[in-house]
Amino acid sequence: MEKIAVLNAGGQYCHLIARKIRELGVYAEILDFNVSPEYLTQSSGVILSGGPDSVYSSNSPKVSRELFNSGIPVLGICYGHQLMAKMLGGKVTPSKSQEYGIANMRIEKNNSIFDGLEKNQTVWMSHGDSVEKVPSGFEVLSSSENCMVTSMANLEKSLYGLQFHPEVSHTINGKEMLKNFVINICKVKEKTWKPKNKITSLINEIKLKADGRKVFFLVSGGIDSTVAFILCVKALGKDNVKGVYVDTGFMRKDETNATIGDFRKLGLDNIDVIDESSRFINTLKDEYDPEKKRKIIGKHFVDIKNEEFSKIENSDKTWVLGQGTIYPDTIESGCSTYSSKIKTHHNRVEEIIKLLHDNKVIEPLAEFYKDEVRDLAETLGLPRNIVNKEPFPGPGLAVRCICSPEERMIQEKTELTNILSKHGLNGFITPIKTVGVQGDYRSYKHIAVIYNNVPFSRLDSISNEITNNISAVNRVAYIVKTKESNPKKMRIHKASINNNRLGLLKEADYIIRNFVEENKRNLPEIWQFPIIIFPLGCNGNESIALRPVLSTDGMTAKFAEISKTLLEQVAQKILKLKGISTVLYDITNKPPATIEWE
C-alpha cells in the first residue's frame, strides 16, 4: 500500500496531519523523528510535523540529512520547515512578532503545492521562530506581513516548507495544499482508506489486546466511552465486559437520568450506576489549583475502579481497564516522545500511566479524533442523539468552576489600554490564569476582559491583536451584559467548589442548552458550548462565561460568532440567577486558548 510517513516532532497537530491525509483516502503512518532513513524508503512521501522546540535547542528533534537527498518528496510544516532550512544552510531566527492565529498570506511564486489556488490565502500560524534566509537551491513561494518566508521550495529535489499549518481547518485551503503534495507531488494514487472500515480490525485488536481477559469500564455516557464500550462488547461478549457509571456531582442538570436512559435503550444492562457526588465534591471543596483538581478527580476514578474490581475479581485476576481515550487526550497530556503537556487529562494521571505500562488498559479509540469516532458510531448504528452528543470533559463541571484562594484586584495595563483605545473599548486583565496552547507549548496566562459597544464582526481581530501583542494574555472575554455600574470596580473574590456554585453553573448551562435548541436556525453549527462560572464581580457576585466554539476534532477551534441580539437575550435570562452579575463571551480561538478554561 502506498503511504505517507508523518514524523512527529511533538507538535499538537501531528496526528491532525495524518487524519487530513487519511481523509483523502491515503494511508498515513506516524513515526518518530529518529526513524531510520531505510524505513522511510517504503513511503511515497515524508512530512515533518510542527513541534514545541526551537531548532537551536540541544535536545530538539533531528532527522538524517540523507532524507533530503533520498529523492523522496519532503514537506516540512512549522518546526519541520525551520529544521529543513537550518539543516540545509538557511537561517532561522526568533520572530519579531510571534504569531498565534489567523494570518493573511500572499503567494509570490506558484507551483504544484499551491496549484489551483488564488494569490491571497488565509492561513493559521503558531510559531515563535521564522526562516530569515532560505537554503541554496530554494526559493521563497509566499510571505505575510509578519513573516518573510511563509513557504519555500527546492523544486528539483521536491523539498517543500510551510511556516503555517495547512492541516488545521482555519487554513482555508490547507486541505488542497496537502492534497497537492500527496497526490500531485508524491504521485500517490491509491485512495481506499476510510475510518469506518477499521471496525473489523479494531475488534480483532481488542481481542488480541485482551488476550482472554475481561474489560472493566468507567463510562460517562459520552460518545467516546460509549463507542469504546460497545466495541469491546462486540469483540468479547457482554459477559466479559462490565461498565460502571459514576455520578460525580459534576454532571449537567438532569444529565445522569438521560444517560442511564440511553444505556437502557441500547440494551447495555451490564452497566451499573453509583452515586459518588459527596465524595468528589467534599474532596475538592478546598482545592483551587486546576492541575491538582484534575489529578484528584483522576485518582478518585482509579480508586473507584479498584473498589469495583475488588467486588468482581475475588481470585480471578483477569480484569483490565477499558477507556474511551481519544488521541487529543493523549497528546495534550504530553504522552508523545517530544510533545509538551497542555493539560493533565484525567485518563492520564500517574496511576493510569502505570496501568498502561503494565499492559492493563485497553483504549480502542486512542488513535482516533472526535469526528472519526462519530463515523464509527454511525457505522455501529448508534442513535443520532449519541452520535451528535456535545463533547463533555471527563471531570465535568469541576473544570468549569473557576476557583480562587483569595480576593485579588484586577489590573489596568497600559499595553491593553493602548490597543483598546483604538477600538473605543475599555478593559482590564484579571489575575486568574487559564490554560492555553501557543507554539505547541502549554501556556498558563491571564484573561483580558473588554467592554463597551463594538461591532461584533471586529471581535475576532481585536482578540487576535491582544493575544499576539500582550505576552501575559492567552484569552479574551467580552462583557455582553452586567449589573455592575462600573466594571473597573470588579474584583476576583475567594471562591471554591461547592454545591451553591455548582448549582448556579448547572442552571446557567441549562439555560444555554435550551437557548441553543430554540435558536438552531439562527446559530452556527456549534461543536461545543462550555459554560464557566468565574469569581469576578463586586460584593461576591459571580460572572458566567459563554464559550461556544466551532471545530471538527478539538485540536483547533474558532469561537462561534453569535449575534449580539441573541447573546443579550440569553444573558438577560442568566442574570436572573441570584448571585450572577455579569455574562462574558469568550472570543478566543484555539490556539492561543484551549477550549476549556482549565
Query: 73 preceded by cis ω (within 30°)?
Result: no
Q: Which residues pair with 362 in a beta bridge?
A: 322
Burial of 392 (0-12, 13-18, 19+ CB in 10 A): buried
Do the Cβ atoms of 55 and 198 come closer than 8 Å? no
- β-strands 139-144, 91-107 pairing: antiparallel
Do the Cβ atoms of 70 and 100 come closer than 8 Å? no
Task: Write out the DSSP string of 386-405.
Answer: HHTPPP--TTGGGGGB--BS
Backbone angles phi, psi at 321, to 5 degrees: -90, 135
Burial of 153 (0-12, 13-18, 19+ CB in 10 A): buried
The residues near 194 (Cβ < 8 Å, ≥ 6 apart) are 25
Instruction: Report how far residue 365's alpha carbon sits from residue 343's, in angstroms, rounded to the nearest whole number.
Output: 19
Instruction: Report how far residue 302's alpha carbon sits from residue 300's, in angstroms, rounded to the nearest whole number.
Output: 5
First to last CA, the chain: 42
Would you give the distance in Å from CA 210 to the centre of its chain? 29
Active site residue 165: yes
Do the Cβ atoms of 477 and 490 come closer than 8 Å? no
539, HSE (Cβ side, Cα atoms, 13 Å): 8
Instruction: Report how far residue 233's alpha carbon sits from residue 493's, in angstroms, rounded to the nearest whole number.
Output: 48
Backbone angles phi, psi at 76, to 5 degrees: -100, 130
246, HSE (Cβ side, Cα atoms, 13 Å): 23
How crowded is residue 295: how many other Cβ atoms within 10 Å of its Cβ? 17
Active site residue 78: yes
How crowded is residue 5: how many other Cβ atoms within 10 Å of its Cβ? 22
| Residue of 14, 99, 127, 167 with catalytic role | 167
Do the Cβ atoms of 288 and 192 come closer than 8 Å? no
| Residue of 14, 15, 78, 147 with catalytic role | 78
Maximum distance among all alpha carbons in the chain?
A: 71
DSSP-assigned letter for residue 184: I
Do the Cβ atoms of 220 and 252 come closer than 8 Å? no
Which amino acid is present at 588?
Answer: T
Measuring CA to CA, which residue among 202, 206, 209 is closest to residue 237?
A: 206
Which amino acid is present at 309?
Answer: F
| Catalytic residue numbers, as ranges | 78, 165, 167
